[in-house]
């Protein structure tokens, strides 16, 4: 189908305004470039006004809690040499294998946490039990947790059996420097449940058997490379290598370990240690160079489709978009060279940038109206903000101020959360221990708190498995710059509709005043970004005026 297009676009001048022409051309026609008047195929723009089967629909989850457990150790083996002419040989049970380790890696290509949210718990494999002829058990299988780039990982609680034993006082000399010797740990002597007996032994022997003192619990050497607990990771770059979150537990000892002068043929071995369980809260903050902020139905998704190959859903009603979408703008001149010659301190010229489209914000979104402010986290880390304003939907300046107000409210809530999180690091009531085992081994500079012993740090309820809150530990600050200091611009869309010129002129006047300091910054902050604030008029549905946006964004990103 061929149609006559009635819009004129002054290509090359970003601030020019698309004007509607009378159907048979107008008196201004001479000033207009000829291609703009030519007949074009509307099917070419199907991409911008798609039919429902063309929508992409992908599951999206941006926060979830998961439990990760490192593998338990295998049990030691009770076995004796038995060969021709050796009927009753010496003990030869192997040790249990070490449990599997847990690793985490942020990779490109993943865009959602829904797969992890469904799993709930991820466990590394258990170490295999030891076997006869001094064969040690195989290691447990490792587990690699793959998360999208931009995930913030926060530990909310951990169950570390060895640390808890230490808190209870059973393995109290575990970390003592002077307890380097192999002297067995007398405090764990009564722990019969840690022992295995020879298979032929009667069950009652468990209560009557005379076990030696339990050997000191062993720790995997890899524990030293674990991040400091409580774990807080901001995985904002793709990682080449996974990092270790929790090392597997050590296996039990086979019966040859328990040979003494008086016991030549020990009929017992120890069980493997239990693995560490850590509860994590994962939060995905999509990473994009530009974030689109706008009221519902403003045309954000259409703009994203006009700029990128995104297939996000577009519709003439509010809240068409229910989850964030990221599109990539390719700055390529189709000659294998970057289209824009902007180096801006970069080694390589920029060849692409990404744009995040989020669900629309409505006024009072901070009071949990509409879809709330939750999705703003996805543009929190964007370098540039683009406010998308529908010129046909009332006063553009008022809309811009309303959007800034919601962004400001979001920022307030975020700051409160950061403060609350510092508070939250106190251990909670149900036996979760929030402390770093073997702390001094990891950070040699760390000075132990004077009240290190769990016994004098707690009040009367002595059987509580609680530790003192980690006083004095410096947590990595969540340093996010204020949103109002980011460069921003306005995309005034639907400029093809009639009677939008005055609205645009008022908006442009307002932005000039903001830039010159005549008007207060819409965020109300004193040191907000106000250099080169401008409004770009576009008709996204006709793909008119969007070309200038890429150039403007690259200027703001690299300039």
Ligand X SMILES: Nc1nc2c(ncn2[C@@H]2O[C@H](COP(=O)(O)OP(=O)(O)OP(=O)(O)O)[C@@H](O)[C@H]2O)c(=O)[nH]1
What the block records as the tokens of 514 is 């903001």
The 10 Å Cβ neighbour count of residue 395 is: 13
Name residues contacting ligand X, limited to 453-472 (CB under 6 A): none
In the complex, what is the shortest distance from the CB of residue 161 to ligand X, in angstroms, rounded to a whole number? 49
Q: Cβ closer to ligand X: 136 or 537?
A: 537
- The answer to whether 554 touches 354, Cβ cutoff 8 Å, is no
From ligand X, Mg ion, none, interface partner of 299 (C-beta below 5 to 8 A by class) = ligand X
In the complex, what is the shortest distance from the CB of residue 315 to ligand X, in angstroms, rounded to a whole number? 5
Q: Which stretch binds Mg ion (CB under 5 A): 134-142, 319-327, 429-437, 488-496?
A: 319-327
Radius of gyration over every alpha carbon of the chain, rounded to an integer in angstroms: 32
Q: Cβ closer to ligand X: 91 or 545?
A: 545
In the complex, what is the shortest distance from the CB of residue 366 to ligand X, in angstroms, rounded to a whole number? 17
Helix or strand holding residue 36 (H, E): helix 34-37
Binding mask 352-391 for ligand X (x = CB under 6 A): -------xx-------------------------------
| Percent of the chain that is helix, strand, coil (3-state, to 5) | 25, 20, 55
- The answer to whether 397 touches 506, Cβ cutoff 8 Å, is yes
Name residues contacting ligand X, limited to 154-173 (CB under 6 A): none
In the complex, what is the shortest distance from the CB of residue 298 to ligand X, in angstroms, rounded to a whole number? 4
Q: Cβ closer to ligand X: 18 or 130?
A: 18
Q: Cβ closer to ligand X: 316 or 420?
A: 316
- Residue given tokens 């086979």 in the structure block: 254
Q: How many residues bind ligand X (CB under 6 A)?
A: 25
Look at the alpha carbons of 251, 256, 261, 262 in this order and tell me if their dihedral is positive or negative: positive
In the complex, what is the shortest distance from the CB of residue 246 to Mg ion, in angstroms, rounded to a whole number? 40
Q: Cβ closer to ligand X: 8 or 149?
A: 8
Binding mask 265-304 for Mg ion (x = CB under 5 A): -----------------------------------xx---
In the complex, what is the shortest distance from the CB of residue 540 to Mg ion, in angstroms, rounded to a whole number? 11
Q: Cβ closer to ligand X: 88 or 498?
A: 498
Q: Cβ closer to ligand X: 231 or 384?
A: 384
Return d(Cα 343, Cα 387) in angstroms, integer.
26
Return d(Cα 303, Cα 357) in angstroms, integer.
9
Return d(Cα 265, Cα 82) in angstroms, integer.
13
Cβ-based neighbours of 315, under 8 Å, separated by 6 or more: none
Told to check if 321 binds Mg ion by CB under 5 A, we report yes
From Mg ion, ligand X, none, interface partner of 302 (C-beta below 5 to 8 A by class) = ligand X
From Mg ion, ligand X, none, interface partner of 381 (C-beta below 5 to 8 A by class) = none
Candidates 253, 248, 220; CA nearest to 77 is 253
Q: Cβ closer to Mg ion: 301 or 503?
A: 301
Candidates 413, 443, 138, 158; CA nearest to 276 is 158
**According to CB under 6 A, which one of 123, 436, 494, 530 is a site residue for ligand X?**
494
Helix or strand holding residue 556 (H, E): helix 547-558
> Chain-centre distance of CA 217, in angstroms?
34
- The answer to whether 21 touches 10, Cβ cutoff 8 Å, is no
Q: Cβ closer to ligand X: 297 or 308?
A: 297
3-state SS, residue 378: helix
Question: What is the DSSP-derived secondary structure letter of residue 74?
Answer: P
What the block records as the tokens of 390 is 């529908």
In the complex, what is the shortest distance from the CB of residue 358 to ligand X, in angstroms, rounded to a whole number? 8
In the complex, what is the shortest distance from the CB of residue 435 to Mg ion, in angstroms, rounded to a whole number? 45
Return d(Cα 449, Cα 466) in angstroms, integer.
16
> Chain-centre distance of CA 476, in angstroms?
16
Told to check if 270 binds ligand X by CB under 6 A, we report no
Told to check if 323 binds Mg ion by CB under 5 A, we report no
The 10 Å Cβ neighbour count of residue 79 is: 23
In the complex, what is the shortest distance from the CB of residue 321 to Mg ion, in angstroms, rounded to a whole number? 3
Q: Cβ closer to Mg ion: 112 or 484?
A: 112
What the block records as the tokens of 136 is 């040690």
In the complex, what is the shortest distance from the CB of residue 291 to ligand X, in angstroms, rounded to a whole number? 13
In the complex, what is the shortest distance from the CB of residue 320 to Mg ion, in angstroms, rounded to a whole number? 5
Name residues contacting ligand X, limited to 286-325 (CB under 6 A): 294, 296-302, 314-316, 318-321
Q: Which long-range contacts (CB under 8 A, 24 or more apart) does 403-407 make?
A: 403/293, 403/294, 403/295, 403/361, 403/522, 404/484, 404/522, 404/523, 404/524, 405/363, 405/522, 406/361, 406/363, 406/364, 406/365, 406/366, 406/373, 406/376, 407/293, 407/376, 407/483, 407/484, 407/523
From Mg ion, ligand X, none, interface partner of 398 (C-beta below 5 to 8 A by class) = none
From Mg ion, ligand X, none, interface partner of 97 (C-beta below 5 to 8 A by class) = none
Candidates 487, 503, 539; CA nearest to 19 is 539
Q: Cβ closer to Mg ion: 126 or 300?
A: 300
The contact set with Mg ion (CB under 5 A) reads 300-301, 320-321
The contact set with ligand X (CB under 6 A) reads 49, 294, 296-302, 314-316, 318-321, 359-360, 493-494, 496-497, 539-541
């Amino acid at each position: 189908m061929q149609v006559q297009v009635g819009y004129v676009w002054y290509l090359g001048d970003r601030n020019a305004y698309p004007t509607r022409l009378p159907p048979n051309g107008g008196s201004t026609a001479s000033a207009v470039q000829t291609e703009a008047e030519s007949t074009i195929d509307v099917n070419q723009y199907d991409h911008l006004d798609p039919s429902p089967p063309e929508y992409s629909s992908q599951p999206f989850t941006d926060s979830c809690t998961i439990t990760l457990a490192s593998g338990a150790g295998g049990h030691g083996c009770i076995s004796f040499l038995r060969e021709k002419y050796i009927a009753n040989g010496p003990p030869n049970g192997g040790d249990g294998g070490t449990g599997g380790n847990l690793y985490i890696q942020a990779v490109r290509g993943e865009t959602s946490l829904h797969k992890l949210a469904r799993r709930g718990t991820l466990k590394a494999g258990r170490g295999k039990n030891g076997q006869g002829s001094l064969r040690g058990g195989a290691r447990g299988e490792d587990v690699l947790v793959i998360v999208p780039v931009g995930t913030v990982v926060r530990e909310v609680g951990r169950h570390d059996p060895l640390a808890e034993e230490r808190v209870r006082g059973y393995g109290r000399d575990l970390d003592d420097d002077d307890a380097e010797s192999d002297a067995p740990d007398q405090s764990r002597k009564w722990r019969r449940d840690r022992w295995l007996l020879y298979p032929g032994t009667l069950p009652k022997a468990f209560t009557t058997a005379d076990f030696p003192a339990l050997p000191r619990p062993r720790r995997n050497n890899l524990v030293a490379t674990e991040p400091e607990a409580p774990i807080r990771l901001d995985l904002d770059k793709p990682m080449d290598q996974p990092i270790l979150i929790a090392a597997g537990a050590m296996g039990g000892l086979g019966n040859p370990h328990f040979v003494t002068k008086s016991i030549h043929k020990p009929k017992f071995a120890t069980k493997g240690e239990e693995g560490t369980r850590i509860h994590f809260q994962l939060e995905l903050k999509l990473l994009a160079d530009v974030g689109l902020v706008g009221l519902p139905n403003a045309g954000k998704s259409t703009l994203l489709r006009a700029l990128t190959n995104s297939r996000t859903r577009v519709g003439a009603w509010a809240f068409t978009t229910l989850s964030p979408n990221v599109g990539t703008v390719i700055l390529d001149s189709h000659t294998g060279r970057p289209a824009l010659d902007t180096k801006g301190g970069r080694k390589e010229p920029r060849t692409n940038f990404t744009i995040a489209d989020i669900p629309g914000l409505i006024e009072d979104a901070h009071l949990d109206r509409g879809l709330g402010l939750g999705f703003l986290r996805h543009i929190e880390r964007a370098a540039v903000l683009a406010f998308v304003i529908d010129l046909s939907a009332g006063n553009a300046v008022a809309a811009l101020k309303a959007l800034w107000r919601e962004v400001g409210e979001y920022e307030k809530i975020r700051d409160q959360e950061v403060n609350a999180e510092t508070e939250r690091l106190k251990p909670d009531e149900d036996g979760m221990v929030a402390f770093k085992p073997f702390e001094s081994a990891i950070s040699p500079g760390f000075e132990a708190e004077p009240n290190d012993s769990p016994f004098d740090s707690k009040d009367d309820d002595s059987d509580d498995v609680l530790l003192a809150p980690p006083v004095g530990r410096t947590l990595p600050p969540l340093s996010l710059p204020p949103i109002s200091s980011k460069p921003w611009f306005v995309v005034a869309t639907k400029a093809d509709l009639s009677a939008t010129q005055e609205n645009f002129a008022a908006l442009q006047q307002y932005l000039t005043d903001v830039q010159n300091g005549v008007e207060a910054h819409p965020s109300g902050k004193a040191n907000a970004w106000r250099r080169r604030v401008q409004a770009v008029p576009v008709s996204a549905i006709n793909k008119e005026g969007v070309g200038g946006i890429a150039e403007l964004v690259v200027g703001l990103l690299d300039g």
